[in-house]
Structure 1
């Protein structure tokens, strides 16, 4: 681990969404995405791969819809461990939902849709890291090319649920200012910038292609509010790693507070990030 960076084992943990109808949204993530329900209570649900919780849904029927101007979630990206599992996801989308996009990003193959309340969802599988191309500045080469959907469909194994090992590979955020987002996630938190596009920046720990994406494509101009993303969890391998990240954030002027068995901090757009080991 670099003295001013996150440990290479750092990964996205759980993502929490505030929703208006938890039953309807949970059914989508169970039936279409293929997650298993770990816990269901009045007003909340937890879903995951059958062993590890990945998504928390918290119902608040009084919460307004996210304003069109507000920063927040672009998509939650569920990473499946094989092309066969991606083919199964495409089959579920074909049969039960509507695919809004598909792309070959060189490092990964990805499917896109929206949940019943408009939250963006990506389901993807990574190509082996040995196949990733490095850029001259040490980043990773990514692109958006047409996906071989026929090949993905042909790889389907016929499973109705995601396999064990599925996780949240990354989250992609809509921010109001890319420079401010980069200052927070890279300079203060300790991620590395892996690649940039016009209006977007992709950051990660441990040489991954990205754990966090940030874009200004839709001209968001106000802090996060309303339904949608409630918080994102970042998992670090040790308590010492959490403590070091907390020290960097506080040194950069961000307020950090204890929450549960970890800490929380708010990014420049009011997005709640939680760190735990």
Structure 2
């Protein structure tokens, strides 16, 4: 039987809601380049997804773009399940003329871009089979050891030309995001990650993964997906609060496997005296730095 204090492996992330300054300009990235399907749009919001599931909801009304090095969203990560899907995304990004970057994290290969409102986006293909082990030095420095014994920082540039060779010689580029793409993780900039981890681990019930102030990153997840919610302190003393009316995260969704799990989370929130609103099969709350989240039962 699962420890009531831990979220089950069924836990996954649901739709991520983002504030933008202008929906039509945001759609040039989210729909036209990344290839998410537009499920619905009006003046106030646009709903985008893949395979009939909502992944991103854009909310109009932000007055200014989210400045770099603001405490708030670092990026939301849409994960694809094949390297070829990542290559199609790379080809679309290359053709778009947008500024983007690419990194080889050893445990994943990732493409990075931002929408016009400064909301960071990662498209990620997981490659855990390349990692042999993780080593942490006495100073807290993290090294990733590959299966061939080589050491990696996890921050090497990704070879885009090599990635695009996965598409073969046909020249065909899929215009749409893969149907089985999903929200794999959300990554935020933080002031006090240790305090945040007390909430995500001790109250919500995630498992710890990397907890390294010297590396500058803290994250947590489940046994199945250890990297689901992450915080970095890479901006250090340059970190600023978002200005009033800034774009960025409105809230993200955590989908739980059962109503019993939701009830257990509610009891832990009450025991910790954390303000939360229960609405049927959903709970709305916020972490200690004000990042808002909604916990729901899958299929509700």
TM exceeding 0.5? yes
Structure 2 counterpart of 1:250:
270
- Shift in Å, 1:267: 0.6
- Shift in Å, 1:246: 1.9
> 1:86-115: per-residue Cα shift (whole Å, max 9, x none)?
001100110104343211112211011111
Report the Cα distance in structure 2 between the residues aligned to 1:105 and 1:250, rounded to whole angstroms: 38
Report the Cα distance in structure 1 between the residues aligned to 2:131 and 2:76, rounded to whole angstroms: 22
Q: Which runs of 5+ in 2 are unaligned?
A: 137-142, 145-152
Structure 1 counterpart of 2:195:
180
Structure 1 counterpart of 2:234:
217
Superposed structure 1 runs of 4+ greater than 6 Å apart: none
* 3-state SS of 1:268 partner: coil
Structure 2 counterpart of 1:5:
6
Asked whether the equivalents of residues 64 and 117 of structure 2 are also in contact (C-alpha less than 8 Å), the reply is no
Q: Which of 150, 153, 156 is the aligned partner of 1:145?
A: 156
Structure 2 counterpart of 1:154:
165
* 3-state SS of 2:31 partner: helix
Are the structure 2 counterparts of residues 101 and 72 from structure 1 closer, same or farther at C-alpha, using a change threshold of 3 Å? same
- Range that drifts further, 46-55 or 192-201: 192-201
- Shift in Å, 1:43: 2.1
Between the two proteins, the alignment pairs up a number of residues equal to: 274
Asked whether the equivalents of residues 32 and 97 of structure 1 are also in contact (C-alpha less than 8 Å), the reply is no
Report the Cα distance in structure 1 between the residues aligned to 2:280 and 2:97, rounded to whole angstroms: 36
Q: Which of 238, 241, 247 is the aligned partner of 2:261?
A: 241
Report the Cα distance in structure 1 between the residues aligned to 2:67 and 2:116, rounded to whole angstroms: 17
- Shift in Å, 1:181: 1.2
Asked whether the equivalents of residues 38 and 50 of structure 1 are also in contact (C-alpha less than 8 Å), the reply is no
- Range that drifts further, 191-200 or 75-84: 191-200
> 1:129-164: per-residue Cα shift (whole Å, max 9, x none)?
555445479xx9582223232221111362111121
Structure 2 counterpart of 1:80:
80
Report whether the alignment pairs 1:100 with 2:111.
no
- Shift in Å, 1:4: 1.1
RMSD: 2.4
Structure 1 counterpart of 2:186:
171
Q: Which of 222, 239, 264 is the aligned partner of 1:205?
A: 222
Q: Which runs of 5+ in 1 are unaligned?
A: none
